Structure 1
Amino acid sequence: MKKGQLAFLTGTHTVNDLYQGAIPAMLPFLMTERHYSYAAVSGLAFAASGVSSLFQPVFGVLSDRRPRTWLVPAGFLTAAFGVVAAALSTGYLATWVFVALAGVGIAAYHPPATSQARLAGGSSQKAMSVFSVGGTVGGSLAPAFVTWVIGALGFPASPLLAVPAVVMAVLWLLQAGRARRRLRTATPAPPGARAAAAPDGPARADDWRRFSHLVVVILGWSVPFVTVTSLVSLYAQRELGQSGAAGAAVLTGYTAAGAVGTLLGGWIGDRYGRMGAVRLGYLLAMPTLAGIAWAPSFWVLTVSTVLFGAAMFLPFAAQVTLAQDYLPSRPGTASGLTLGLAMAAGGLCSPLFGWLADTSGLRAAFYALLGLFVVPVLLAFRLRDPVGKASEKDAPNLTDIPAGTPGPR
C-alpha cells in the first residue's frame, strides 16, 4: 500500500465532494431567497447528481484508454467554479446550468481518482474505504461551510467557497513537480523487474452479467441516497418546524455518519468478506429509512437519519471494488458506470419525489421512497464475490502495475 499517495488522493476526494455536498446544502437558502418550489430544488439536485452521473462513464472510458491524471484537479476546480457561479446567478435557468457544470466537474474527477486510489491501496478494502471516506468527510463539511459563508455573509460572499479547490490545486501542482523530479533522479529498474514483482495467476475475464446485477443494486441505492440528501434538511424545517441551522445539522450528521459507515464497512469487508458489508448495510438501512419517514419529532429524525447514513455507506467501498473486479481490465469504466450512470437514477428520480412532496407532502415522499428501497435490498443478497474472501488476500497487488497500464481486453 502506498500510504502517502493514498492520503493525498483522499485529500483531493475531500475537496471534490465538498462541492458535491455544497449543492444540496445551498438548496434551503435558494428556496428561501428565490422562492423555489420543491420540484424546482429537486430539479437542481438532478442537475448536480443526474448530469454528473451521466458524464462519469465517459470519463471512465477515457481514463482506461490512457492515464489522464490532470482530470483530477480540473474536476474539482470546475466543480468549485460551478457552485460559485450558481450562487451568484439570479435566474433559475442560469443557476441550473452552473449547477450542472459543477456536476460535470465532479464527474471528471471520480473515475481517474478512484482508479489511482485502487492502485495505491491494492486489494485492501480498508484502503478503498479510507479514500471513499475522504469524499464523505467533504460532503459532511459542506453544510457547515455553506451555512458559514452564505448563511452568515449572504450569496455575494460565495467566491469564498472556491478557496479549498484553489489550495488543493496548488498542492497538486507541487506534488506533481516532486514526482517528476523523483522520476528524473531514480535509478532505472532492470528489465523485467516490475513484471516479476506481480504474482503469477490467470487473468480474469470481464463479467458483464454480474456487473449489470451490481449496477441495478446501486441504481436502487442511489435513489434514497440522493433524495434524502436533497430533502431531509427541508423535512426538518417544513414538517418539524426547525430552523435552517437545525436542518443543516441533520444533513451534516447524515454525511458524517456516512464517513463512519464507510470506514466500518472497509473493516467488515477485510475481516468477513465484501458480501458481509454489502448485505449488512442494506439490511440495516430499511428500518432506519422507515424511522425517517415516520419521525414524529426532530430527535427521532436526527437519530434515524444518522443511522441511515451509516448503514447506507457500509457497502460503499465494497461496491466500488466489486465493480472493478467484475471488470478487471476496465477499472475506470467500472468506476464511471457504478459511481456515475447508476447514480443517475437518484438524480432522475429526485424531481419525481419533489413533485410528490409538493402535492402530498414530504412525509408521503419518504414513505414512497421506503417502498421503492425494498427492491435493491432483496437484490443485494443475490450478489456474489468474483474473488472470494480467502483469495482476496492472494490477489495481485495492483501497486505493482503502472498507473494506466491497460489490462487484458
Structure 2
Amino acid sequence: MWRNKSIILLSAGHACVDVYQGAVASLVPFFIAERAYGYAAASGIVLAASLLSSVVQPLFGALTDRWAMPWLLPVSTVLGGLGIALSGISGSYALTLAFVAVSGIGVAAYHPEAARVARVVSRGSHTAMGWFSLGGNLGFAAAPVLVAVVLVAGGLRLSPLLVVPALAGSVLCLPVLRALAAPARSAITAVKPHRSDDDRASFLRLSLAVVFRSVVFVGLSAFIALYAQQRTEGGTAAGTAALFLLYLGGAVGTVLGSRLANRWDRITVVRWSYLGTVGAVAGVVFVPGPAIYLFVALASAGLYIPFSLQITLAQDYLPTRVGTASGVTLGLTVSIGGIASPLIGTVADHGSLQLALAPLVALPALSWLVIRTLPEPSARYG
C-alpha cells in the first residue's frame, strides 16, 4: 500500500515540477506581446531553459548513481518554480534568460533522482513508471492554463504567483522521503548487476531516437500556440487550446503506452508509435482550419506513448547506471530539443512558421529507423 501511495505522491510532485517545463513555452506569446520579441528572440528563452539543463542533467544523473540524494527532490522543485516566477518581473532580456536558466537547472536536478526513487519504490514496474511519467505530462498540460489564468488579467508582472505549484510539490515529496529513510523500507534491496551487463550501444541508439522525438515536441511546444492562431485565424484562446491539447495528449499517450507494453514488448510499441506519429505531425503542419486540433492531439499521443517506456528501456540497458540513464532520457535528450528552437524561430522570421515546422515531419521517421532493430532488454530491478 505504501508503494502505491508513494508513486501517487511522486507523480503529483512530478506534475508540479513539469509545470515549469511547460510554462516556458506558455510564456512565449506573452513575451512577444508585451516586449515585442521576434520569433528568434522568443525561442532563445526556450533555449535558455534547455541549454544549461542539457549540460547539468547528466552530471546529476552520475551523482545519483554514486550517492542517493533524495533531498534534491524538494530543493530542485523550489528552484524550478522560483526561476519561472522571477522571469516576468524584469524587462531585461538578459535577466529573463538567466531566470529561465535557473528554472532549467532546477528541473534538471529533479529528474534523475526522482526517476531513481520511482524505480526503487515501484521495483522497476512499467505501469508504475507510467504513472510517474503521467504526472509530468499533466504538469505540462496544466501549464498553459495556469499561465493564462495568472497572466491574462495582469500580464507578466504577476509571474511571481507561478511559484505556488513548486511550493506544493516540495511538500508532496516529503512523505516519500520519510518512507524511504525508515529502517523497514531500507530492507528493499536490489541485486547489483555487473558493469558488463550494460548495453551501451543500444542505449546510445535509444538516446538518439529520443533526441529526434525531443526536437519535434519542443519545436511544437514553442510555436504551436502561435501557429494555431494563424491556421484558425483565432486569438490567444485558440493558441492556448492547441498548447493544452499538445500537453494533454501526452498524458493520454503515457497511460496508453504503459498499457500496451503489458501486451506487447516495449520496442514494438515504441517502434509503431513513432511510425504513426509521422502522419500526425504532417497533419499539424499542413492541414488548415480547426482540424489542426485533432492532429495536435494525435501527434502528442504518438510522441508520448514511448515516453515512460524509453525510461525503463534506458534503465535496463544501463542497469549499473540507472541515474545516468534516467538523466539522459528524461533530461539531456529532452533538453537538446530546445537547442533546435532558435533555428526554427530564425527560419520562421525569414520565411513562415509552416516552412520552419515542416522538417519536423521527418524526425519521427528517423526515430523509428534508429530503434527499429533494437533488442528488448530483460527488465532488471537495480
Farther-moved stretch of structure 1 (166-175 vs 11-20): 166-175
The alignment partner of 2:262 has SS state of: helix
Count of matched residue pairs: 381
**Retained in 2: the 8 A contact 1:239–1:362?**
no
The alignment partner of 2:232 has SS state of: coil
Q: 1:99 to 1:194 in 2, by over 3 A?
A: closer
> Which residue is 2:105 aligned to?
104
> Which residue is 1:404 aligned to?
none
The alignment partner of 1:94 has SS state of: helix
Partners of 1:201 and 1:290 in 2: CA distance? 43
Q: 1:166 to 1:199 in 2, by over 3 A?
A: closer
The alignment partner of 2:377 has SS state of: coil
In the TM superposition, residue 380 of structure 1 has moved relative to its aligned partner by: 2.4
1:65 aligns with 2:61: no
Q: Give the AA of the match of 1:83.
A: I
1:147 aligns with 2:135: no
The alignment partner of 2:263 has SS state of: helix
**Retained in 2: the 8 A contact 1:223–1:347?**
yes
Partners of 2:193 and 2:54 in 1: CA distance? 34
Q: Tell me which of 312, 316, 323 is aligned to 1:325.
A: 316
**Retained in 2: the 8 A contact 1:282–1:380?**
no
> Which residue is 2:129 aligned to?
128
Partners of 2:188 and 2:354 in 1: CA distance? 58
Q: Tell me which of 275, 286, 289 is aligned to 1:294.
A: 286
The alignment partner of 1:271 has SS state of: coil
**Retained in 1: the 8 A contact 2:43–2:342?**
yes
1:248 aligns with 2:249: no
In the TM superposition, residue 338 of structure 1 has moved relative to its aligned partner by: 2.0
Q: 1:58 to 1:202 in 2, by over 3 A?
A: closer
Report Cα offsets for 1:370-396 as digits up to 9, x if no partner. 134432222221222121xxxx4xx5x
Partners of 1:253 and 1:40 in 2: CA distance? 25
Q: Which runs of 5+ in 1 are unaligned?
A: 399-406
Farther-moved stretch of structure 1 (116-125 vs 259-268): 116-125
> Which residue is 1:265 aligned to?
257
Q: 1:33 to 1:329 in 2, by over 3 A?
A: same
**Retained in 2: the 8 A contact 1:54–1:340?**
no
The alignment partner of 2:197 has SS state of: coil
Q: Give the AA of the match of 1:60.
A: G
The alignment partner of 1:6 has SS state of: helix
Q: 1:156 to 1:206 in 2, by over 3 A?
A: same
Q: Give the AA of the match of 2:207.
A: V
Q: Give the AA of the match of 1:165.
A: A
**Retained in 1: the 8 A contact 2:274–2:365?**
no
Partners of 1:74 and 1:48 in 2: CA distance? 18
TM-score normalised over the length of structure 2: 0.94
**Retained in 1: the 8 A contact 2:83–2:103?**
yes
Partners of 1:26 and 1:337 in 2: CA distance? 26
RMSD between aligned residues: 2.2
In the TM superposition, residue 239 of structure 1 has moved relative to its aligned partner by: 4.3
In the TM superposition, residue 200 of structure 1 has moved relative to its aligned partner by: 11
> Which residue is 2:304 aligned to?
313
> Which residue is 2:57 aligned to?
56
Report Cα offsets for 1:267-320 as digits up to 9, x if no partner. 1112211112201210111000000110211x1111100110001101111100
> Which residue is 2:167 aligned to?
166
How does 1:12-91 map onto structure 2 within 5 Å?
12-91=13-92
Report Cα offsets for 1:197-244 as digits up to 9, x if no partner. x68998861111111111111111111010001110010123432111
Q: Give the AA of the match of 1:84.
A: A
Q: 1:154 to 1:124 in 2, by over 3 A?
A: same
Q: Which one has a bigger Cα radius of gyration?
A: 1
Partners of 2:214 and 2:150 in 1: CA distance? 28
Q: Tell me which of 212, 216, 228 is aligned to 1:224.
A: 216
Q: 1:201 to 1:335 in 2, by over 3 A?
A: closer
Partners of 1:346 and 1:194 in 2: CA distance? 36
Partners of 1:175 and 1:67 in 2: CA distance? 14
> Which residue is 2:377 aligned to?
386
> Which residue is 2:6 aligned to?
5
Partners of 2:256 and 2:173 in 1: CA distance? 29
Farther-moved stretch of structure 1 (152-161 vs 4-13): 152-161
**Retained in 1: the 8 A contact 2:275–2:364?**
no
The alignment partner of 1:272 has SS state of: coil
How does 1:389-404 map onto structure 2 within 5 Å?
392=379, 395=380, 398=381
**Retained in 2: the 8 A contact 1:124–1:270?**
no
Q: Which runs of 5+ in 2 are unaligned?
A: none
**Retained in 1: the 8 A contact 2:257–2:305?**
yes
Q: Give the AA of the match of 2:214.
A: S
Partners of 2:179 and 2:313 in 1: CA distance? 33
In the TM superposition, residue 255 of structure 1 has moved relative to its aligned partner by: 0.5
**Retained in 1: the 8 A contact 2:57–2:109?**
yes
In the TM superposition, residue 341 of structure 1 has moved relative to its aligned partner by: 2.2
> Which residue is 1:280 aligned to?
272
